[in-house]
Chains A and B, each alone.
Chain A
Amino acid sequence: MTKLMEWLLGLSLIGVLWSIVTFDLLDLRISDQYLQVAWPLPIYLLVAFGCYSLAVVGYRVATFNDCETAAKELQEQIQEAKRDLQKKGLHF
């Protein structure tokens, strides 16, 4: 199953369950307090996911390692390499 199919399946399942509860399709007679939470639940979850995404990406950008020492080391090694290769006959 492709990822797209997995998502469609999952969303359909959630959609069906949500419809059953919100529109009372199976005559489940769920009490009002549960119905009040159930019907806006998809929107809540979407917003919650949006906030989570922003938080995670924000955190990862803030903690993205800056490889200063790696860059310096590379510069030094480039000089070393050039000197060694010139000895071996390469002209820069």
Chain B
Amino acid sequence: MIYCRTDFLHGVGIDIMASQMKTPKDSDKYSVLLPTYNERENLPLIVWLLVKYFSESGNKYEIIIIDDGSPDGTQDIAEHMQKIYGPDIILLRPREKKLGLGTAYIHGMQHASGNFIIIMDADLSHHPKFIPQFIRKQKESGYDIVSGTRYSGSGGVYGWDLRRKLISRGANFITQVLLRPGTSDLTGSFRLYKKEVLQKLIEKCVSKGYVFQMEMIVRAKQLGYSVGEVPISFVDRVYGESKLGGNEIVSFLKGLMTLFATT
């Protein structure tokens, strides 16, 4: 707490509690990477929520929308959002077709002016209200990475049936036993990274999809980066349409075995 008495008001004896106003460190800026594919409905909503929570927290930010040539007109909506909020807040980095997530991050980061990168899903399963908590957690101990967790503390999920929960917890348990990652939610993709840490990790990682997210945390631990956790609520509105089938389970196990053997 900084308590300062300004000299020219000496006679009046006004004390100004400067620390009452929590001004964030002036140089910190947060770039949110939003890879999108067919998110015409959700994109305006997620952007609105991001703007709401960032404005309330007073942090400097930008939102980078990386659309992979969505046929449903997501890019048009993105352009409209840029008109509403301005090109300083909304940056557009579209691509022609659906390419990998890792390359989407690289592409998005090339023009990111923030020193922190936030990655998240654009389908409203990740709620921007947790971002100020990520930022606070990061400042607490200077973490290199802050990861949202559905499995620990007050973290949780909405919209999963028993089968889905069982598969999720079972898979997470096997992952914990085999990889001992030191974090509770390895497949989560709602995270805050220091920019140079994310760049370094993307260079080193070779997997795809959610195994890519797992590999990032495992490699981060190997390289000695510190990872903090914040419980998040994951609201799944997509699960009803896309059940978790045998194919995905097999490819998850294959990915896990690969990480087990190579990290």
Which A residues have a C-beta under 8 Å from some C-beta of B? Answer: 2-4, 53, 56-57, 60-61, 64-68, 70-71, 74, 77-78, 81-82, 84-85, 88-90
Contacts and interface: CB of A to CB of B under 8 A. Distances in A.
Nearest to B162: A61
A77 B45 CA distance: 9
Contact of B44 (A71, A74, A90): A90
B233 A70 contact: yes
Contacts of B239: none
A72 to B, nearest CB: 9
A3 B165 contact: no
Interface stretch (B3-11, B101-109, B173-181, B209-217): B173-181
Interface size class, chain B: 35 or more
B130 to A, nearest CB: 10
B260 A88 contact: no
Contacts of A68: 158
A66 B157 contact: yes
10 contacts: A2-B263, A4-B260, A60-B173, A64-B157, A64-B169, A65-B156, A67-B158, A71-B235, A89-B84, A90-B84
B89 interface: no
A90 to B, nearest CB: 6
B49 A81 contact: yes
Contacts of A57: 166, 169-170, 173
B234 interface: yes
Given A3-B263, A74-B127, A64 B156 contact: yes
Contacts of A67: 156-158, 233-235
Top 5 A-B pairs, shortest CB-CB distance? A65-B156, A67-B233, A70-B233, A81-B48, A71-B158
A4 B178 CA distance: 8
B180 A3 contact: yes
A63 to B, nearest CB: 10
B182 interface: no
Contacts of A65: 154-157, 233
A81 B263 contact: no
A75 B159 CA distance: 13
A8 to B, nearest CB: 10
Contacts of B158: 66-68, 70-71
Nearest to B151: A60
Nearest to B173: A57
B44 A85 contact: yes
B90 interface: no
B235 A84 contact: no
Contacts of B177: 53
Contacts of B44: 81, 85, 90
Contact of A56 (B49, B160, B173): B173
Contacts of B263: 2-3
B179 to A, nearest CB: 6
Nearest to A64: B165
B260 A85 contact: no
Given A53-B173, A57-B173, A60-B172, 4 more contacts: A2-B262, A3-B179, A71-B158, A74-B235
Contacts of B173: 53, 56-57, 60
